[in-house]
Amino acid sequence: AQSVTQLDSQVPVFEEAPVELRCNYSSSVSVYLFWYVQYPNQGLQLLLKYLSGSTLVKGINGFEAEFNKSQTSFHLRKPSVHISDTAEYFCAASLKAAGNKLTFGGGTRVLVKP
């Protein structure tokens, strides 16, 4: 069975500072990896996804993530955050054989301070 671990439950960061959200997955087979963002009382929106190819993936709102197979990681980064980036971020993984069932990490709450 696969699992997804987000190492930080909360990340406070000052406006215009960089942020990195850590995500590790466990799977013995190839996985597809996603990052989602959830604003308060809303559903989740896709930030970016890794399917294959280049290990550096660029997403919306200036976010990017790097797939590292040897470390089984898919960390999310943004070089300069805005107040509007305050939200909860979820890492997720799916297996081809799993019927499109995404496994989510526990989420990381980002609080951007002025």
Partner 1 sequence: SQTIHQWPATLVQPVGSPLSLECTVEGTSNPNLYWYRQAAGRGLQLLFYSVGIGQISSEVPQNLSASRPQDRQFILSSKKLLLSDSGFYLCAWISGSYNSPLHFGNGTRLTVT
The binding site for partner 1 (CB under 8 A) comprises: 6, 32, 34, 36, 41-46, 49, 51, 90, 94, 96, 98-107
What is the rounded CA–CA span in Å between residue 112 and residue 41?
18
Shortest Cβ distance from residue 12 to partner 1 (Å)? 17
Nearer to partner 1, 6 or 73 (CB): 6
Shortest Cβ distance from residue 49 to partner 1 (Å)? 6
Nearer to partner 1, 99 or 114 (CB): 99
Q: Which two tokens stand for residue 97?
A: 């054989």
Q: Could you tell me the sign of the dihedral formed by the alpha carbons of 54, 62, 7, 45, in that order?
A: negative
Shortest Cβ distance from residue 50 to partner 1 (Å)? 10
- Amino acid 105 reads G
Nearer to partner 1, 19 or 23 (CB): 23
DSSP string, 49-84: EE-SS-SEEE-GGG-EEEEETTTTEEEEEESS--GG
